[in-house]
Structure 1
Amino acid sequence: MAHCTCEEALGTVLDSEEEFTFSSEEEQESNDEWSHFEEQLDPSEDNDSDNQMPVAKKARTNKQSALTWKTETEVDLVPQTLRFVPARDPGPQLWSTDSYTPLSLFKLFFSESAVSTLCYNTNAQVARSIERGRKYRWTDVGVSEMYRYFGLIFYMGMVKLSSINDYWRQGSLCSVPFPATIMSRDRYRTISWNMHMSHPAADKENDKKKGTDEYDWLFRVKPLMDTIRLACKTIYHPRRNLAVDERMVACKANTGMTRYMNAKPTKWGFKLFVLADSSNGYTVDFSVYTGKNNVATGNGLPYDTVMSLMDKKLLGSGYHVYMDNFYTSPKLLTDLIDMGYGACGTYRDYRKNSPQNAANSLTKNSPRGSIRWIRNGPLVFVKWMDTREVSVCSTIHPAYTGDTVQRRVKTQDTWSLKTFPCPAPVTAYNQYMEGVDLPDRLLQYYTAQHKTLKWYRKIFLDFLDIAATNSFTVHKELYGNMTYKEFMEQLISELCGVSPKIPEKRASSDHVPVPGALLSTDTRKVASSGRRICVHCKAAHGKKQQTPWKCQACDVHLCLQLTRNCFQEWHKAL
């Protein structure tokens, strides 16, 4: 593969006129299968109230009311397997003959051109602040210094102290010497206070549109966000199983965009909708929720979010996408299968067109491991009793294929493992939805996030996290020989231009035995001149042994004899 920019590489994919459609034979098979599902409907009579309803819609409505829940003992139809046709070969889209370091991979997301734009807008913001009366000692920040600034942010994510000032505090037990060797504290803080992704003059024009439909809520982050999103799509092509989920960026700023989510570890913040590769957690695409749906189609925010992330020209067809109950709806899954995408997700019973029939369904008293399912065309709705009821809808799996899970069960004050049957959609959902949480696990310990006054700088720090975790994922795909901690240590050292390893401390050459006094010309006094009590003999044994030898560096007298080497013992304790 030839080297090219992110824009050129992605443009090659998006400009292709190839349509990812099924062959006529596959389309006929799909139509035959749909007819096969339709033939299993219970026939129902039209009534006068349904005269204005289209025939196909009346059939589906009457069918749904006639469907009843079945048990795991009844055999479900196996859905037709979608043909997997990715737009590019899955995996990193890089030269296989080149060697990639953590820094070279990171620069694929934060390229020098993108960082140059960041420097230009930051310098403009500082000039604007100085005009307003800020007292800064400032010289324009350049690309190389901005990369060192990124390195310090990542360093602070690995070495956590209570405040920024502590990283430059000297003379205390917990002092760290590294940050002061990269830049001064005031320089770091001034860059942080003025970090800007858009030009301040353009911000002012956008702010005038506040309260109108033309106002862009994400204007301050869009220049860098578009660059990061393009890089995510270009550098790596996902494997077949994808997951859609939310990611929270902690922030309590009163912007109108922050949300409260009780189910998330981070309760308050910005909500990011993320499309990730389930096999390794790579962030394929994301969008920031602004509090309103800018691409409303009348089908709701969850529907529009998934559809906007599932770009057929970029991805290809035949993908399987997994999602939680915020997104799953029968209409979404039906429309995805029409586009050539299989889908599976937990669902909420009250969603439109979900089965409402309670006959033979699960109850609170149903035994653990009980399974109920309904097949409605390409959709299978499955209920499973674990510690509580789990509801899953899928267009990929049959209801039950004999899978089992083990659970710890308490019987007569003792715990033991017991095996329970588990529906196929639940097994697959648990397996592939874990992938979207992999970046969060990495960032649990080494995140770039820290307190800042401006909301858009919180999102900027999240862009750094996305670039770092995606770089690590690609590096692991290529080499697989580093932990995330080792990767970040090397990335920090390369960003800051220092060696990742500190040379081992060597013993000082000053610690050598020398005579305790000047040698006398009188040979009779050579052995007795300058003799003093050995500090080690007195401290360790309480004896007052005298010796003519002392340590040149420590300036203390120590025995140096064949039978008593106090010089060595003393320096072992230092």
Structure 2
Amino acid sequence: MSCHRNSDFINCSRESSDLDQTSKLETSDDEPEIVDASLAINDDVLLSLDFYWCFLSPEVIQDLHEVVSVQDHENDDADMSENVSEPEQGRSRGRSRPTLRGRTRSRGGRVRSGARSTTRCSSGRHASTSIREMDEANGWSYEAVQQPPENPVFQEISRVLAPIDENSSLFDCFSIFFPDSFWKLLKTETNRYAAQMKAKQTRQGILKPGTMLYQWKPVTKQELKTFFSVVIHMTLVQKESFDSYWSTREIIETSFARKHMNRNRFRAIYSCLHLNDNSNYKPRNDPEYDAFFKLRPYFDELCFLCENSFYPNENLTIDEGTCGFRGRVHFRVYNKDKPDKYGMKVYMLCDAETGYILRMVPYVGDSKSVETIIAELSEPYFGKWHTIYMDRFFTSPTIADLLWLKETRTVGTVMANRRGLPQVWRQQPLEKAEMAFCHRGNLTACKWKDKRDVLMLTTKHGASWTETKAKGVGVTKKVKPDCILDYNHYKIGVDLNDQYVSYYSLNRKSMKWWKKMFFNLVARSLVNAYILYNKSREQRRRLRFSQFLMDSGEQLVETASDAEAGPSHGPHAVGTSTRLVGRHFIERIPSSEKKEKVARVCKDIISSLIENLDESESTEIQSTVEELNDIGKFEITTEPNISTCQPYQIEGRRIADLNYFYDQMKHYLIISRDSVVQ
């Protein structure tokens, strides 16, 4: 391994996989040969103007370009003559091999002083002194630092904060994220929304008999629990549509949904499901507009429960979780690297070891800065010396400095065009397996070349690296910076949560964005409950996530059944009628000259329906039937034969709802009156 470190950076290139092999380094004639050296230091560097455009004023940039244009290669070579040797024969003219004096690094990242080595420079042109001074003015140092000057120790203990222990049941952990307040909110707002929609359609005159809203009955907490147990069942048993779960075809039949809830009732609850009062909605041009209004009460309560139920380990992850959605919403985003390329995203702070979600901030198309997002996510954990791992979208020298002031460490990849980075990264390319380090206080900047350049910022690591096993054929060893190894290990917090959600997805087809997001959040709540359950019983065998879902669904049904008001499931019980005995069949009645379509209404059935009405309603129905009979539209049997009594029938359609029957009778009455007048 031959390594060099000039005044700008440490450049380490692994030329042999055998670390015990002695490195043969070229030296100048007046310097002795250095044996087993892996690091050397140079006092002058190669710099470029390419990077400074992003944080210097135009006037300064113009002056710097003028300085460089005046300094030619001869002047540069004269200035660097004390440190740079003649180019090695056989190499290109643009690459020289200067002999340098400095400190060496042995394998494993240890630093030894007094060694000298040769280095390779990527260009024959050297930086002006003014640019170098300005770079140093930004605080970057080029002394080898194995560890940051300050390396505080994390002293907190990861623990479950919720009131559960190893003897708590699975449903106790489930109830942490689905408390009574959740069911109360869901019941109140669902019934409110159904009433609002029913009143709206009534005012508009478009409410039709027989529709879902027309037949709507207020939902109860027990029904909602049964509803969610069926949803969990749908998560475990994937089918193509809602109707498939109530199918009686032997090849796809599953009895759970059909046994516990009527299909039409399930569809009605799913359609009217709501979490906020629409009457409080503010339009987009209102200063108090909230794009997340539909989910705000539930989302705020969920964030509170997540934060106060578990204290995380030292290592945290900030990343964005996605919820696939291709419908219309103004904050839909596209990400080609995600399984769901189109969808909505939520910024999340997760425990890196378990994937437990601690805090969330939804993206709603606003212009929140990265600093604001990170502060909202990390604020409860400042001052504890947590280490936050994040990708290049969040990482920058400014973010690293701000978090360090809040006693929080940072490790993350970084974009090459971020302000304040060492400009040498933009000027000098690295070959494969080479690495470069720069330091500024506790901040270390690392550049490592694998298949492509990897740029890292860290306030936890110094200029150190480790040998690892390689995956490629014929390659057994690979050297990586320690900051990259830790990043790959701890950056998976949000990805781990996404992985659980992808196994058993609660998402169903919907044109409403907030329903997709709601069921995605419910799925993440189930993952959090599952993690708490396993953390509370670490001495026992770990439960699988699928088993956790099955037990949760079954216990939801049990708690709903044990309540006083049972769930709506199966056909409704029908009381025994003292009048309706015998068998009823539909018969075709021949038409007559007076009536084209004949419908005979059983007097027994009309009488039985009227028994359950108040006096005014029963009188109105009786008068309506008598008037229809007088007009000749209906024929009412006066002495029904119980053995051959026919069910009431209007235009060949059997009526099973009293309200629908009543409306149809009024409809025929109006039509018949009009025809008589004409």
Among all aligned residue pairs of Structure 1 and Structure 2, give the percentage whose two residues are the same amino acid. 23
Aligned residue for 1:430, secondary structure, equals helix
Partners in 1 of 2:552 and 2:460 — Cα distance?
41
Closer, same or farther in 2 for the Cα pair 1:316/1:194, shift >3 Å? Answer: farther
Aligned residue for 1:317, secondary structure, equals coil
- Where structure 2 has 5 or more consecutive residues not aligned to the other structure, the ranges are 1-42, 46-58, 61-130, 202-206, 561-678
Residue 327 (structure 1) aligned with residue 394 (structure 2):
yes
Aligned residue for 2:388, secondary structure, equals strand
Query: Structure 1 residue aligned with 2:440, among 351, 367, 376?
Result: 376
Partners in 2 of 1:41 and 1:184 — Cα distance?
80
| Structure 1 residue 84: Cα displacement | 2.7
| Structure 1 residue 485: Cα displacement | 1.0
Give the total of aligned pairs.
422
Residue 84 (structure 1) aligned with residue 154 (structure 2):
yes
Residue 406 (structure 1) aligned with residue 469 (structure 2):
yes
Residue 463 (structure 1) aligned with residue 521 (structure 2):
yes
Contact 1:79 / 1:397 at 8 angstroms: preserved in 2? Answer: no
Residue 430 (structure 1) aligned with residue 488 (structure 2):
yes
Partners in 1 of 2:161 and 2:138 — Cα distance?
49
Residue 447 (structure 1) aligned with residue 505 (structure 2):
yes
Partners in 1 of 2:524 and 2:383 — Cα distance?
24
Query: Structure 2 residue aligned with 1:63, among 129, 136, 145?
Result: 136
Partners in 2 of 1:193 and 1:477 — Cα distance?
37
| Structure 1 residue 97: Cα displacement | 5.0
The one-letter code sitting in structure 2 at the alignment partner of 1:140 is: P
Closer, same or farther in 2 for the Cα pair 1:60/1:167, shift >3 Å? Answer: farther
Contact 2:141 / 2:440 at 8 angstroms: preserved in 1? Answer: no
Closer, same or farther in 2 for the Cα pair 1:202/1:66, shift >3 Å? Answer: closer
Contact 1:68 / 1:359 at 8 angstroms: preserved in 2? Answer: no
Partners in 1 of 2:308 and 2:416 — Cα distance?
38
Residue 352 (structure 1) aligned with residue 419 (structure 2):
yes
Contact 2:166 / 2:537 at 8 angstroms: preserved in 1? Answer: no
The one-letter code sitting in structure 2 at the alignment partner of 1:149 is: F
Q: Deviations over 1:156-192 (max 9, x none)?
A: 1110001111001113311111101110111111111
Closer, same or farther in 2 for the Cα pair 1:98/1:419, shift >3 Å? Answer: closer
| Structure 1 residue 262: Cα displacement | 1.4
Residue 390 (structure 1) aligned with residue 454 (structure 2):
yes
Mapping 1:132-211, distance limit 5 Å: 132=201, 133=207, 135-136=211-212, 137-203=215-281, 206=282, 209-211=283-285
Partner of 2:548: 487
Indicate the larger mover: 271-280 or 60-69.
60-69
Partners in 1 of 2:416 and 2:373 — Cα distance?
21
The one-letter code sitting in structure 2 at the alignment partner of 1:156 is: M
Residue 343 (structure 1) aligned with residue 410 (structure 2):
yes
The one-letter code sitting in structure 2 at the alignment partner of 1:138 is: W
Q: Deviations over 1:122-164 (max 9, x none)?
A: 0111112222126222221111221221111121111000111
| Structure 1 residue 362: Cα displacement | 3.4
| Structure 1 residue 452: Cα displacement | 1.2
The one-letter code sitting in structure 2 at the alignment partner of 1:151 is: S
Partners in 2 of 1:105 and 1:306 — Cα distance?
29
Partners in 1 of 2:302 and 2:509 — Cα distance?
22
Mapping 1:20-169, distance limit 5 Å: 61-63=134-136, 76-84=146-154, 86=156, 89-95=157-163, 97=165, 99-131=167-199, 132=201, 133=207, 135-136=211-212, 137-169=215-247
Aligned residue for 2:416, secondary structure, equals coil
Partners in 1 of 2:250 and 2:137 — Cα distance?
72
Aligned residue for 2:470, secondary structure, equals strand
Partner of 1:520: none
Mapping 1:541-552, distance limit 5 Å: none
Partners in 1 of 2:382 and 2:532 — Cα distance?
18
Aligned residue for 2:300, secondary structure, equals helix
Partners in 1 of 2:375 and 2:357 — Cα distance?
16
The one-letter code sitting in structure 2 at the alignment partner of 1:352 is: R
| Structure 1 residue 489: Cα displacement | 1.0
Closer, same or farther in 2 for the Cα pair 1:315/1:145, shift >3 Å? Answer: farther
Residue 254 (structure 1) aligned with residue 328 (structure 2):
yes
| Structure 1 residue 83: Cα displacement | 4.0
Aligned residue for 1:284, secondary structure, equals strand
Partners in 2 of 1:174 and 1:124 — Cα distance?
36
Contact 2:145 / 2:439 at 8 angstroms: preserved in 1? Answer: no
Aligned residue for 2:168, secondary structure, equals coil
The one-letter code sitting in structure 2 at the alignment partner of 1:488 is: L
Partners in 1 of 2:493 and 2:236 — Cα distance?
23
Contact 1:168 / 1:175 at 8 angstroms: preserved in 2? Answer: yes
Partners in 2 of 1:496 and 1:64 — Cα distance?
68
Q: Deviations over 1:326-360 (max 9, x none)?
A: 00010000010001000110000101111222488
Partner of 1:7: none
| Structure 1 residue 378: Cα displacement | 1.7
| Structure 1 residue 61: Cα displacement | 4.9
Partners in 1 of 2:514 and 2:155 — Cα distance?
38
Contact 1:362 / 1:383 at 8 angstroms: preserved in 2? Answer: no
Indicate the larger mover: 233-242 or 257-266.
257-266
| Structure 1 residue 253: Cα displacement | 2.5
Contact 1:119 / 1:142 at 8 angstroms: preserved in 2? Answer: yes
Indicate the larger mover: 92-101 or 249-258.
92-101
Partners in 2 of 1:498 and 1:94 — Cα distance?
21
Aligned residue for 2:548, secondary structure, equals helix
| Structure 1 residue 80: Cα displacement | 1.6
Partners in 2 of 1:408 and 1:237 — Cα distance?
36
| Structure 1 residue 108: Cα displacement | 1.1
Partners in 2 of 1:80 and 1:334 — Cα distance?
13
Partners in 2 of 1:264 and 1:79 — Cα distance?
39
Aligned residue for 1:256, secondary structure, equals coil
- TM (norm. structure 2) is 0.59
Closer, same or farther in 2 for the Cα pair 1:240/1:77, shift >3 Å? Answer: closer
| Structure 1 residue 66: Cα displacement | 9.0
Contact 2:416 / 2:426 at 8 angstroms: preserved in 1? Answer: no
Partners in 2 of 1:76 and 1:336 — Cα distance?
21
Residue 305 (structure 1) aligned with residue 368 (structure 2):
no
Closer, same or farther in 2 for the Cα pair 1:217/1:425, shift >3 Å? Answer: same
| Structure 1 residue 119: Cα displacement | 0.7
Contact 1:78 / 1:397 at 8 angstroms: preserved in 2? Answer: yes
The one-letter code sitting in structure 2 at the alignment partner of 1:419 is: K
Partners in 2 of 1:471 and 1:41 — Cα distance?
57
Closer, same or farther in 2 for the Cα pair 1:451/1:79, shift >3 Å? Answer: farther
Contact 2:148 / 2:443 at 8 angstroms: preserved in 1? Answer: no
CA RMSD of aligned residues (A): 2.6
Residue 281 (structure 1) aligned with residue 342 (structure 2):
no
The one-letter code sitting in structure 1 at the alignment partner of 2:279 is: A
| Structure 1 residue 389: Cα displacement | 1.7
Partner of 2:90: none
Partners in 2 of 1:127 and 1:165 — Cα distance?
26
- Where structure 1 has 5 or more consecutive residues not aligned to the other structure, the ranges are 1-39, 43-48, 51-57, 410-414, 500-574
Aligned residue for 1:372, secondary structure, equals strand
Contact 1:41 / 1:63 at 8 angstroms: preserved in 2? Answer: no
The one-letter code sitting in structure 2 at the alignment partner of 1:482 is: L
| Structure 1 residue 436: Cα displacement | 2.2
Closer, same or farther in 2 for the Cα pair 1:229/1:100, shift >3 Å? Answer: same
The one-letter code sitting in structure 2 at the alignment partner of 1:418 is: T
Partners in 1 of 2:133 and 2:440 — Cα distance?
8
